[in-house]
Structure 1
Amino acid sequence: MSRSIEYFNYGEDFLTASLALRLARGECKGRLTDTTRQKIRASAQVVKNIVEKGDAVYGINTGFGPLCTTKISKDETKVLQTNILQSHSVGVGNVIETEIAKLMLILKLHSLSKGYSGIAEATLDRILWHIDNDVTPIVPSQGSVGASGDLAPLSHLFLPLIGLGKVIHKDEIITTRELFTLHHLESLDLGPKEGLALINGTQFIAAHAVKVVDKLQSCLSQADIIGAMMIEGLQGSVKPFFEELHQLRPFKGNKHVAKRIKALLEGSEIMEAHSQCDRVQDPYSLRCIPQVHGASRNAWLHLKELLEVELNSVTDNPIIIDEDLTISGGSFHGQPLAMALDYACLAASEVGNISDRRIYLSLEGNSPGVPKLLMHDTGINSGYMILQYTTAALASENKGLCFPSSADSIPTSLGQEDHVSMGSISGRKALQVLENVEKILAIELLTASQAFDFRKPLKSGVLLDEVHKMVRSHVSFAAKDRVFSDDIEIGIELIKSRAIIKTVDEMITKSKHSLETEFSELFETY
């Protein structure tokens, strides 16, 4: 979707991770078109007709889960929908990020707007109001098994529709009752199937996946740039990045990374100065950057492709096809994203793992001109030694988090839901790993910049030289020990703000350099 387009049409337009984030951040506005509203009203009418007929249809006039054989009277169908939001609000643990909760609203609205859920138009308008007015419900992080929909988190997400729960309003947590008073709102009277439609679905998993796609792409791009800086600092060879090599093993991710690294090293005086040296080959953490970063890029691409299918799907249950056909299926099951998120979690961990190895390599003092521990006067100074302890701890923590959540299943609902995905845990763990990777990359940025300084007065190419200047405008060269945690915090902020990506992009527009490859559209957009 072009950035020039101001409106996203829920239920009609194709939703991507980046577009979902733009909607959540207020950079783009969403709306319900007349065509979509007609479909929503028609689907709601089908549900009303089913209730009038009295034929048993799961979730409309029956109980839920193991109570699916319990018939609910016509008069009680509305009470049933209100009760389900309350009984399923059993989440525990820390509250999820506000942006993730807002993403859940956006993803659920898009799915329900497709016209197969029997939801009332007024209910969707209220959800849209929450999005547009930046009023985000409080949602606990734990409690979903990722199968019969993300039941617990979605129940908390929609408690405010019936006047319950809490919300974040103008950066303050208030009760829904207080919100109603402030904005002259009233509780919604949920119709048949509405409660079930609201809480059945994969929006908790998918919202986390949106953030994973965004953060992992950022880490991958920055890891390439920082890795190239480390190659310069340690006088690594450019030959492992030659296209001739990667044509013989043409994985898309490998070829893309190799071409990016080679472009980053283009025009380097540092590289030219040791082009005739007698070193035969570099350690793997330098030489195998295309293979390791490339494999993680392929995992990112896999998650991105599956996520786009999920973001544009109907994932509640039952599905209302028409008055004669309602299907109680399993589209709420989180397995497709759960497995991909576990794969992405491992891919992210490996980016941090090889980054830690490059940091260790930079401290050994085996590269000509670069002192041991990246400091000349050691003994009285420990230099950068202990920074690698931190990255070792973070890399080890990540390895422990890589056990695939989707490999586990515990039956729930008295055996009715006898295989579950645990995809909610997959998503939460992947984000936790990525936050650790950002810290590892921040420390590699500091150590690579320190090694880079020992190559002066030689210059790198214009792209890496500019990145180094940007880093030095925030963190000075360390000639002696200091409180390095202050430097690390600055480095983490540089990684989170994507400052080095922006620096490279700005230099590309000013120079003839380019990091574009034949796979850029795959790996640089989402």
Structure 2
Amino acid sequence: MNKVVIDGHHLTIQDVVNVARNGYYVELSDDAKLRVEKARALVDKFVQDERVEYGITTGFGKFAEVVISKEDAKRLQRNLIVSHACAVGDEFDTEIVRAIMLLRANALSKGHSGVRLSTLQTLIDMLNKGVHPVIYEKGSLGASGDLAPLSHMVLVMIGEGEAYYQGERLSGEEALKRAGLEKVELVEKEGLALINGTQVMTAIGALAVYDAINLAKASDIIASMTVEALRGITDAYYHRVHEVRPQIGQLKCSRNLLRILEGSSLTTRQGELRVQDAYTLRCIPQIHGASKDAIEYVKRVIEIEINSATDNPLIFEDEMRVISGGNFHGQPVALAMDFLGIAVSELANVSERRIERLVNYQLNDLPAFLTKKGGLNSGFMIAQYSAASLVSENKVLAHPASVDSIPSSANQEDHVSMGTTAARKARSIIYNVSRVLGIEYLAAAQAIDFRGDFKLGRGTEVAYKLIRKEIEHLDEDRVMYIDINKASRLVDSGTLVKEVEDKIGEIE
């Protein structure tokens, strides 16, 4: 059985993908179990001693000064969940829900949250048995964490709300029953521990950065095909050009291009056909490379966040202390997600300009709009329109969410991150980029077909054969969205990158 063992410290982005998309089983490590039990024992002691501690024996937010009696402490936790389940909009995809559940379980397993081991195990059991809460996308300010959407997750744990189980949408109580699970009666601190954190924005972010890495690699492959189709000059990728400006992503991209294009008979050298290419060909390492560097920064932020305790207050059992802080504030993730959206947008921005160079007969020596019988056939004319539309939409989506803040909880929470909005926008941008790259992939293959007798590069040959196995050359106009979806699926599924890497080794 494929599984991921969580302990709050060693979860990777690949682990998140494996659980969210590939259905890996999740187990809690023995060390984590011990830490969780110790933290819970301290919470129980403070409750017994009737100590005034935020979120344990007090209200929440602006109600932090309201002391809650021992008799009302359990009711407080349930009230917290039902009152905070205020998310709206579309439902998160199942993969996002699974990632949210995994990340919340991993954060709780650090032993700084004070939940009972049985409560944590219920969350893990739900994940393993496929009880997927209905969680709506909108309603989080990104501080205090992702309160509203996470409350929808916890509703199911207490037998409320709704969940999907074996493809059927059910009440939370019925979904648990069918899966053979008991609902949880929350006790002191548990409600807050389950919803106060950055796990929604981080779950979206973890999958988004994984997909962005794939798109950055695919961009290098597809751009290389366009370079061949347009008889591009490879001198611009020469290693010494990039060593005198040693930006890491730029160096990686230049190496990628030369490896992918190695052995091609279609590429040219400086002065053979022209002295230099337009920026969208000549500056691929500089443009793609900058996005690679940005994605790498985001990856580091997410790797830290998925193994962090982000609720409040935090339990430090070894010091017998409960400290109220601000780790729930999503600013690190918010900035990173805005940066990711901008970085990935640029991959589509330059891709669309390469599409224009492929279809515009005034900029190349190919048939207009890549069709032999122009006028009767429109060829790739409107495919470029679609790419332009997606790129323009990305410009709107790339406006940073993190520069906005709106006070909440009677101004107690007077600066918020909007990190979940930033993450959702980045995810939408990634979808759009995959479609633009799919269109370029189609157009580059079509253009290469017009070059007659040729030898493709080691990497581009693999990419060309892959798309031609799925989609035939466009001789006469046909329904284009089918081809676009097929090509884009080869891009966003990782199939294109995997096939090329199997031939030439890992793309940086």
TM, length-normalised to structure 2: 0.97
Which residue of the partner structure matches residue 466 of structure 2? Answer: 470
Instruction: Give 3-state SS (helix, strand or coil) of 1:406's partner.
Output: coil
The structural deviation recorded for 1:29 is: 2.9
Deviation by residue 1:75-116 (Cα, 9 ceiling, x = unmatched): 111111111010000010000011101111100101101111
> Are 2:197 and 1:218 equivalent residues in the alignment?
no
**Partner Cα separation in structure 1 for residue 95 and residue 279 of structure 2:** 38
**Partner Cα separation in structure 1 for residue 410 and residue 35 of structure 2:** 36
Among 397, 400, 418, the alignment partner of 2:396 is: 400
Q: Among the aligned pairs, what percent are the same residue?
A: 39
Contact conserved, 1:352 with 1:437, CA < 8 A, in 2? yes
> Are 2:354 and 1:354 equivalent residues in the alignment?
no
What is the correspondence of 1:186-197 to structure 2 with a 5 Å cutoff? 186-197=182-193
Shifted more, 34-43 versus 218-227: the winner is 34-43
Which residue of the partner structure matches residue 79 of structure 2? Answer: 83
Which residue of the partner structure matches residue 326 of structure 2? Answer: 330
Deviation by residue 1:165-212 (Cα, 9 ceiling, x = unmatched): 111111221112222432443321211100000010000010010111
Deviation by residue 1:472-506 (Cα, 9 ceiling, x = unmatched): 12111112322222211221222222222122123
Which residue of the partner structure matches residue 107 of structure 2? Answer: 111
Contact conserved, 1:259 with 1:515, CA < 8 A, in 2? no
Contact conserved, 1:101 with 1:137, CA < 8 A, in 2? yes
Contact conserved, 2:232 with 2:281, CA < 8 A, in 1? yes
> Are 2:272 and 1:277 equivalent residues in the alignment?
yes
Instruction: Give 3-state SS (helix, strand or coil) of 2:327's partner.
Output: coil
What is the correspondence of 1:308-387 to structure 2 with a 5 Å cutoff? 308-322=303-317, 324-366=320-362, 369-387=365-383
**Partner Cα separation in structure 2 for residue 313 and residue 409 of structure 1:** 23
Shifted more, 46-55 versus 361-370: the winner is 361-370
For 2:374, the aligned partner's letter is T
Among 279, 298, 303, the alignment partner of 2:298 is: 303
Q: CA RMSD in A?
A: 1.6
Instruction: Give 3-state SS (helix, strand or coil) of 1:9's partner.
Output: strand
Change (3 A) 1:183 1:131: closer
Contact conserved, 1:137 with 1:166, CA < 8 A, in 2? yes
Instruction: Give 3-state SS (helix, strand or coil) of 1:167's partner.
Output: strand
Contact conserved, 1:220 with 1:297, CA < 8 A, in 2? yes
For 2:285, the aligned partner's letter is P
Contact conserved, 1:150 with 1:202, CA < 8 A, in 2? yes
Contact conserved, 1:263 with 1:515, CA < 8 A, in 2? no
Among 427, 440, 461, the alignment partner of 2:436 is: 440
Contact conserved, 1:209 with 1:427, CA < 8 A, in 2? yes
Which residue of the partner structure matches residue 151 of structure 1? Answer: 147
Which residue of the partner structure matches residue 288 of structure 1? Answer: 283
Shifted more, 8-17 versus 456-465: the winner is 8-17
> Are 2:54 and 1:58 equivalent residues in the alignment?
yes
**Partner Cα separation in structure 1 for residue 35 and residue 262 of structure 2:** 56
For 1:90, the aligned partner's letter is C
What is the correspondence of 1:414-493 to structure 2 with a 5 Å cutoff? 414-493=410-489
**Partner Cα separation in structure 1 for residue 359 and residue 232 of structure 2:** 15
Change (3 A) 1:209 1:180: closer
**Partner Cα separation in structure 2 for residue 81 and residue 270 of structure 1:** 67
For 2:52, the aligned partner's letter is A
Shifted more, 229-238 versus 373-382: the winner is 373-382
Shifted more, 57-66 versus 166-175: the winner is 166-175
Contact conserved, 1:235 with 1:367, CA < 8 A, in 2? no
TM, length-normalised to structure 1: 0.93
**Partner Cα separation in structure 2 for residue 295 and residue 183 of structure 1:** 47
**Partner Cα separation in structure 1 for residue 103 and residue 299 of structure 2:** 15
Structure 2 unaligned blocks of 5 or more: none
The structural deviation recorded for 1:369 is: 4.5
For 1:206, the aligned partner's letter is T
Shifted more, 155-164 versus 31-40: the winner is 31-40
Contact conserved, 1:150 with 1:200, CA < 8 A, in 2? yes
The structural deviation recorded for 1:256 is: 0.2
Change (3 A) 1:134 1:428: same
Shifted more, 426-435 versus 322-331: the winner is 322-331
Structure 1 unaligned blocks of 5 or more: 509-513, 521-526
The structural deviation recorded for 1:276 is: 5.4
Shifted more, 253-262 versus 129-138: the winner is 129-138
The structural deviation recorded for 1:417 is: 0.3
The structural deviation recorded for 1:226 is: 0.3
Which residue of the partner structure matches residue 98 of structure 2? Answer: 102
Shifted more, 311-320 versus 496-505: the winner is 496-505
Which residue of the partner structure matches residue 523 of structure 1? Answer: none
Deviation by residue 1:328-365 (Cα, 9 ceiling, x = unmatched): 00000000010010001000111010000000011122
Instruction: Give 3-state SS (helix, strand or coil) of 2:137's partner.
Output: strand
Aligned pairs, number: 507
